[in-house]
Structure 1
Amino acid sequence: MEKTWRWFGKQDKITLAMLRQIGVEGIVTALHDIPNGKVWPLDTIKDLQGYIESFGLRWSVVESLPVSEAIKYAGPECDQLIENYKESLANLGKAGVKTVCYNFMPVIDWIRTDLRHLCNDGTSSLYFDRIRFAYFDLKLLQRENAEADYSDKELELVAELDKTITEAEKDELIDTIIVKTQGFVNGNIKEGDKNPIYIFKKLLSLYKGINRDMLRENMRYFLAAIMPVCDEYGINMCVHPDDPPFQVLGLPRIVTDESDIAWFLKAVSNPHNGLTFCAGSLSAGEQNDTRELARKFASRTHFVHLRSTAAMPGGNFIESSHLSGRGHLIELIRIFEKENPNLPMRVDHGRLMLGDEEKGYNPGYSFHGRMLALAQVEGMMAVVRNELDL
């Protein structure tokens, strides 16, 4: 596997010089300054590519070339946005950047309710609390008919929480779910936006009447349209699983488990239509065994995210050590190194540790925490390579 690292461009506090020192081989990045839906110019792509290569690294994966919301809900500007997307893909292909990670999640890119959940060793990790999320949905967002998505027991626990939660905790919950985990990724909402609840509800309203089958058809339409460009330039598209892999906020979710993955791979049966195998996202769903999924879909996997989660009672989960949890990372490395070697891999999220918490890193993207994770994964890779050499 190629050891890659998600890097947020020249303004990232973590420099390419630092990454080269810790054994990173490839960079995962994007043109974050270009608004969603606009064409990525070839000269801008080459400028960033040249900068990366000046540090002895390569631009291995685009994460991500965002799929505009209007493509997902099939708005009137959908076809023009797809044409722009195709032009961006062609420009990436001309530059030799051949792997593109994207997602097809409506509105929300990923969800956590706590960005600094304290662990026993003094580090902190990303955490999802089902009841606190339900509180956000029911009491803060006040989504229409949200009660139908929760059990009677969950509704009771939300009512109990409502008696004790502070105004500061409410503000933090809004900031965590709507702003902190979204703004630096998909551009729908950004730091400093006034009244994020209002903006968020407007985004949700775009999907009124869009069900699971309709979203699937919109994904199939998008993939079918871009595959000729992928064929021409040898570009591998790899969709990221929904995070977490279950329904939230009344939105359809269509990349959550084995049947979902099998559906989109069959719907557009082209080898360039593939999967980003995110062990963290998939393992957050108790319906998923990452080892079985890896065995089944290794040949159509183009990119791997290695992190792990520990599921807890009541639908809660925490991002665990890369050596533990439901991700089963060493088994995944064994499978991918045998079935589809040389894939780009990044360790994805890491814990906050050793002063990371004071650096202002994007949530989940600490330096020391990811450096530890990379060392752990590199050790597992060495073990597997030795096994395969025997």
Structure 2
Amino acid sequence: MKQTWRWFGPDDPVTLAHARQAGASGIVTALHHLNDGRAWPLDEVMKRKAEVEAAGLSWDVVESIIVHEDVKTRSGRFRELIADYKSSIRAVAQAGVKTVCYNFMAITDWTRTDLDYPMAHGGTALRFDIVDFCLYDVLVLKRRGAENEHPALRIAAARERLAQMNESALARLEANLVGWVPAREFIFDRDSFRKALERYRDLTVMGLRQNLLEFLREIVPVAEEAGVRMAIHPDDPPFPIFGLPRVVSTAEHARAILEGCPSPANGLTLCSGSYGANAANDLVAMAKAFGPSIHFAHLRNVTKEADGSFHEAEHLAGDTDMVALVGALMQEEARRRKAGQSDWEIPMRPDHGHAIVDDIGKKVNPGYSCIGRLKGLAELRGIMRTLAALEKRPA
């Protein structure tokens, strides 16, 4: 697999030089300073490509051209925004970037309650605590109907926890849940988040799925013509939060997306951390079932708890058999090579990483520390090289 690295642009404290030193050869990035739904100008795209190539790397994946909330709800300026999205696809294709990772999560991007969860090794990880989430959703945000979506025992536990929580901890929880996420088009406070939720109050799962398919039926022909592969990222976490509909959380959802708009340009980002946080998903089985449609892979691991909480584990720990998953993806690459596909290689990146060693206490984008991801990439590279060597052994 092509070893890539997420980079948030010139302001990212983890630089392109760091990515190259970590052993990556490709970069996953976007025009984050223009990522509000507008069309990306070709000159800005080419400027970003030149920055990446000047560091001795290649720009392999766009993550992400943001899908505006008007498009997800098919309201407001959605027609204009879809036209702009098509222009951005054409621009990145002209720059030679042929894989576009995107998501269709309503309002939120990835969501965690704790960005600095202490691990036994002394570093920190990202965590989603279901009781903390309930505490905020029901008792702080006081979302209409929230109390009907959480079990009584969870709400009782949340009340007990809130009684022991100081203002600083509560402010930190709110900031984690609604205030900051990388690559989001704008930042919310409590009141603006409540208003944003109202836009989705009457939109069902079936309605959001239909909006996604309508979006795909408009952009996929453009992607086909430009030679671009669209790769939808799963919901994170892969179950409903804040009463919002979820349509990319399970294998069944993925199948519905592929069958609803059949095309080689309509595919998946297999994120083992996002799909892996839903106990119903078998990641290795998904890699085998959807292999031809997997255009990009995010490789990370999670440890799930019985109540729905989870934290991000080390890349080779957690609940997903990472060796088997990487093996399944490499088998798909071998199938593509045998079929004579020029685009046989699947770009992957070590998704997220613990804050360890010199990253502890540094200002980095949560989940995107340098050393934690370097460690993850090295471990994943070791799996790939070992499996490749075993494949070459004589029977």
Shorter chain as denominator, the TM-score bin is: over 0.9
1:109 corresponds to: 109
1:333 aligns with 2:326: yes
2:183 corresponds to: 185
Q: Contact conserved, 1:127 with 1:319, CA < 8 A, in 2? A: yes
| TM-score normalized with structure 2 length | 0.95
Match of 2:347 among 340, 344, 348: 344
1:69-123 deviation per Cα after TM superposition (whole angstroms, max 9, x unaligned): 0000111311111000001111111111110000000001111111111111101
Match of 2:306 among 307, 313, 316: 313
Q: What is the total number of aligned residue pairs between the two structures?
A: 383
> Identity over the aligned pairs, expressed in percent?
38
Q: Contact conserved, 1:67 with 1:103, CA < 8 A, in 2? A: yes
Q: Report the Cα distance in structure 1 between the residues aligned to 2:210 and 2:309, rounded to whole angstroms.
A: 31
- Stretch moving more, 127-136 or 47-56: 47-56
Aligned amino acid, residue 378 of structure 2: A
CA shift at 1:35, angstroms?
Answer: 4.0
- SS class of match (1:115): strand
5+ residue gaps, structure 1: none
Q: Report the Cα distance in structure 2 between the residues aligned to 1:114 and 1:372, rounded to whole angstroms.
A: 22
2:209 corresponds to: 216
Q: Report the Cα distance in structure 2 between the residues aligned to 1:353 and 1:289, rounded to whole angstroms.
A: 29
2:221 corresponds to: 228
Q: Report the Cα distance in structure 1 between the residues aligned to 2:360 and 2:352, rounded to whole angstroms.
A: 14
Return structure 1 stretches of 4+ with deviation > 3 angstroms. Answer: none
1:229-268 deviation per Cα after TM superposition (whole angstroms, max 9, x unaligned): 1111110000000001101111000011111000000000
Q: Report the Cα distance in structure 2 between the residues aligned to 1:231 and 1:162, rounded to whole angstroms.
A: 51
Q: Report the Cα distance in structure 1 between the residues aligned to 2:245 and 2:18, rounded to whole angstroms.
A: 40
- SS class of match (1:33): helix
Q: Report the Cα distance in structure 2 between the residues aligned to 1:376 and 1:35, rounded to whole angstroms.
A: 32
5+ residue gaps, structure 2: 334-343
1:370 aligns with 2:363: no
Aligned amino acid, residue 164 of structure 2: T
Aligned amino acid, residue 285 of structure 2: E
1:131 aligns with 2:131: yes
1:1-390 paired onto structure 2 within 5 Å = 1-180=1-180, 182=181, 184-189=182-187, 196-340=189-333, 341-390=344-393
CA shift at 1:140, angstroms?
Answer: 1.4
Q: Contact conserved, 2:35 with 2:66, CA < 8 A, in 1? A: no
Q: Contact conserved, 1:111 with 1:128, CA < 8 A, in 2? A: yes
- SS class of match (2:290): helix
Q: 1:162 to 1:51 in 2, by over 3 A?
A: closer
Q: Report the Cα distance in structure 2 between the residues aligned to 1:185 and 1:27, rounded to whole angstroms.
A: 16
Q: CA RMSD in A?
A: 1.1
CA shift at 1:19, angstroms?
Answer: 1.8
CA shift at 1:160, angstroms?
Answer: 1.4
Aligned amino acid, residue 123 of structure 2: T
Aligned amino acid, residue 223 of structure 2: C
